[in-house]
Amino acid sequence: MPGDSLYLNTKSKVQNSYDAIIVGSGISGGWAAKELCEKGLKVLLLERGSPVEHPNYPTATKDPWDFAHRGQLTPADKEIHSIQSRHYSIREDNKHFYINDKENPYKEIKRFDWIRGDIIGGRSLLWARACYRWSDLDFEANAKDGYGVDWPIRYADLAPWYDYVESFIGVSGNRDGIPHLPDGPFQPPFEMNKVEKYFKEKTEARFKNRKVIIGRTANLTQAVKGRGICQARNLCHRGCPYGAYFSTNASTLPAAHATGNLTIRPFSLVNKVVYDDKKQRARGVEVIDTNTGSVEEFSARIIFLNAATVATTAILLNSISSRFPNGLGNGSDQVGRNLMDHHKGISIVGSIEGFEDSYYAGRRPTSIYIPRFSNATEENKNFLRGYHFGGGAYRGRGAADGIGAELKESLSVPGGWQLSLYAFGECLPYEDNRITLDHSTKDRFGRPMIAIDCNFRENENKMHADIRERGKEMMEMAGFYNVKVNGSISFPGNANHEMGTARMGHDPRSSVLNAFNQMHELPNVFITDGSCMSSGSCVNPSLTYMALTARACDYALSELKKRNI
């Protein structure tokens, strides 16, 4: 990706006018940029954060001893990143990717861990890269059990777009033939180690309806154009100079830039969408320069809001007009409601004897994966929906004995094998789990403060209890000993999968978006980030955001050509 030419170039357009404006440069925003630019539209991509250009990630090739605190955050770091440091992913070597919480506060009516990047590429540089398709088990859930509104799409609507997205980003994995975890055009999978294969064999023999598979991940095992294969360094969180995992910076932005149709404007905080009363459509967006505080307006025929769930919701709620006094496209009063995140927090660890003659090479970038079985292949009447497990087997160091050379030698001997499991569970959509604006308190840009009121309920807690029991049971059945269950249910936000506040649906009275992620009340505004989700599943959502985005862009261009928007 070339240097400065990629960024701000508004002189090329008269009066700040474009065919399309995209707000946010993360996973879904990057995909919108690629798709719309490749379809011939002149696109402005707005990002509140600072530039990061592939492959120039500042710490990507540094050694552990290059960091003053060996990767750990200092007390001063934790003061600056008081919210971000609640999450495992922020470290000394990647703290520059994360937002300054001290300068960008929000109101937690109940604790909500809002983890956010502040860079071009957003959390596409920080995600765990797990790529799993949703199925009709997920898309039909709301209709079947009555929580939330029915999705206006089914798996068949999205299947070709999953194919399209996976083929471009590169997803490694096996074709496992699991109906509720559909296969795709995968690259060769990473390999399980010997203990993981043993756990798979024992688990599948004992539990006929449960599968243990290698994780499906957006880490390349075969090179694609402009990107190399994964080196198994376990340094993804710093940014990958090889482009071996999918990120906006390494993948979709170079494709968009290659068209000559893209302008990126960093340090650009979108304050609101500007509504044109005469034309009854969105005219453009109002932008605050985060360095100078100056305000500027940009206009476009279509707008894609992809700022991630909380920020997109805040933009909508702050975009008031005589027609929309309650927030843009909010005639249903659903904007900000039904906030969801996956619950997690459990670590189940056990030891196994034997296998001392086996080890593994490198640091594989994906876990083993146990797809959902509760209320999928096995009925569980204690709660609705379900969860999945992930994890891996590993060897620690041997006992630290002696001093000097003797101590060094003892530390070079591998210890025994252990297996660790974690889990992600689904959160139901609750109308009063919501995001609002507190107009009595202003942020440093003079905007009303974002307020978040969200908590897990009885169904999530019952599911969490079942996770603890089933995980321990599987490990003990497989012959692991000293099995310990650690941790407790997480707080919303900490799974980094916030969703649902501008949901899709059939009926404009109970939803915000239609089947193509288009606002019911404002046809030239599209939302394809996590806000659009009508339910949360237990399956990682990022791949679904990408597929929804590509599909929505295709539809938007078709509607533009028909002059419907």
Q: What pLDDT is attached to residue 66?
A: 97
* pLDDT over 70 (residue 199): yes
Domain ranges of the chain: 4-172+225-339+498-561, 188-215+343-425+456-491
Q: Which of 101, 97, 102, 91 is nearest to 69 (CA)?
A: 91
CA distance 365 to 231: 9
Percent of the chain residues past pLDDT 70, beyond the cut: 97
As a whole number, mean pLDDT of residues 214-243 equals: 97
* pLDDT over 50 (residue 5): no
CA distance 233 to 254: 24
Q: Which of 90, 64, 60 is nearest to 77 (CA)?
A: 90
Which 8-state DSSP code applies to residue 441?
E
Write the CB contacts of 46 (distance below 8 Å, at least 6 apart in sequence): 21, 22, 23, 24, 265, 268, 270, 285, 287, 298
Q: What pLDDT is attached to residue 403?
A: 85
What are 124-183's pLDDT values in tens digits? 999 999 999 999 999 999 999 999 999 999 999 999 999 999 999 999 999 999 999 999
CA distance 342 to 492: 7
What are 480-503's pLDDT values in tens digits? 999 999 999 999 999 999 999 999
As a whole number, mean pLDDT of residues 402-415 equals: 82
Does the 4-172+225-339+498-561 domain belong in CATH 3.50.50.60? yes
Structure tokens at 139: 């898309």
Q: Tell me which of 187-196, 354-363, 398-407, 544-553 is least confident.
A: 398-407
Which 8-state DSSP code applies to residue 386?
-
CA distance 267 to 475: 49
* pLDDT over 60 (residue 1): no
Query: β-strand 448-453 against 522-527: which pairing, if any?
Result: unpaired
* pLDDT over 70 (residue 13): no
Which 8-state DSSP code applies to residue 292?
T
**Mean pLDDT for the chain?**
96
Check the CA dihedral 522-523-529-535 and report its sign: positive
What are 72-129's pLDDT values in tens digits? 999 999 999 999 999 999 999 999 999 999 999 999 999 999 999 999 999 999 999 9
Q: Where are the beta strands (DSSP E) in 5-77?
A: 17-23, 43-46
CA distance 324 to 75: 44
Q: Tell me which of 102-111, 213-222, 408-417, 485-494 is least confident.
A: 408-417
Structure tokens at 483: 């099995």
Backbone region of residue 146 per phi and psi (left: phi > 0; alpha: psi in -120 to 50; beta: other values)? left
CA angle 539, 540, 542 (to 5 degrees): 135
Backbone region of residue 407 per phi and psi (left: phi > 0; alpha: psi in -120 to 50; beta: other values)? alpha
Burial class (CB in 10 A: 0-12, 13-18, 19+), 439: exposed
Q: What pLDDT is attached to residue 420?
A: 98
* pLDDT over 60 (residue 225): yes
Amino acid at 529: D
Q: What pLDDT is attached to residue 493?
A: 98
Q: What pLDDT is attached to residue 409?
A: 79
Q: What pLDDT is attached to residue 204?
A: 98
As a whole number, mean pLDDT of residues 363-392 equals: 98
Cβ atoms of 175 and 338 closer than 8 Å:
no
CA distance 156 to 502: 23
As a whole number, mean pLDDT of residues 495-512 equals: 98
Q: Which of 246, 196, 234, 222 is nearest to 364 (CA)?
A: 234
